[in-house]
Amino acid sequence: MRGLVLLFKFMTRLPIPTNPEFDSKELGKSMKFFPIVGIIIGAILYGVYLLGSKYIPTSLVLATIIVLIEVILTGGLHLDGLADTFDGIFSYRSKQKMLEIMKDSRLGTNGGIALVLYFILKILLIAGINDMSLGMTRALFGLKSSVGAVILVTPVLARINPVLNCAVSPYAKPSGSARDFAESTNKTGVLIAVAIALLFSGIVGCGVLEVLNPLHLINITAITMVLGLYFSKLMERKIGGITGDTLGAVLELSEIFILFGFYISTAISLATKTLI
């Protein structure tokens, strides 16, 4: 329990009533529960969507607000990792030089481009799913919202890949804030993270809200994990392993992959008139 509280304090900007003493080892062991952080973030974003959909008729504006709220909830921690990773990897320097560039707090051109593309893609994908599902929501699901379910489960599913990366790849540096995550996470931890994410997404999205197709959910998760595994191996070749920055990068990229998967799923559902 203490490790989970530390995980929330480290990975979010949510107000936590308790203030346990920092323990890096305990924090590292809690990585397998990372999808639980996604559950809370997803629930907040779902609430924002339900409220915003009543007063904001424009999908792009609503999607932008949802994306900005998520940035506030995480403090931009993972986006910083995304930008630093792209600055380092696309510098095409030596491994050591890449790590030095990633450690630099200044934003480079490649990092800036990555962030711009990230926000454009994420906003357009959420807005696109919302637009496609509006008519389908009324026709197939009554008052239930399919895009709301996507917003709810995406942060949960995306947090599988950082756990996977920690379990399969070494840490690239002799020390660092995420070293304990990499050293304390194993394949059992990945199974726990996958179980938490899929059980929650399945029960809520396929059961309670009844708008997600179980087969689509499993396929999207599996494909995202394969891409996440490829990312970790790419980092091993480029810089010798993972870092805190690459963990943030794989999380944010996973959200884009998952949203793209649900976008395709929604398009298929429109054509076949089935659940997304």
**Residue 68 has what pLDDT?**
98
**Residue 143 has what pLDDT?**
38
Backbone angles phi, psi at 126, to 5 degrees: -65, -45
Residue closest to 165 by CA, chosen among 229, 89, 220: 229
Full pLDDT tens readout for the chain, 276 residues: 788 999 999 999 998 887 777 788 888 999 999 999 999 999 999 999 999 999 998 999 999 999 999 999 999 999 999 999 999 999 988 899 999 999 988 999 999 999 999 999 999 999 999 988 775 555 554 434 588 999 999 999 999 999 999 999 999 988 877 899 999 999 999 999 999 999 999 999 998 888 888 999 999 999 999 999 999 999 999 999 999 999 999 999 999 999 999 999 988 877 776 677
Q: Is 23 exposed, middle or buried (0-12, 13-18, 19+ CB in 10 A)?
A: middle
The distance in angstroms from the start CA to the end CA of the chain is 35
**Would residue 242 be called left, alpha or beta, if left means φ above 0 and alpha means ψ between -120 and 50 degrees?**
beta
**Residue 173 has what pLDDT?**
87
Helical spans, DSSP H, in the chain: 2-11, 24-29, 34-55, 59-74, 77-89, 95-103, 109-141, 146-158, 160-168, 179-184, 187-201, 214-239, 244-272
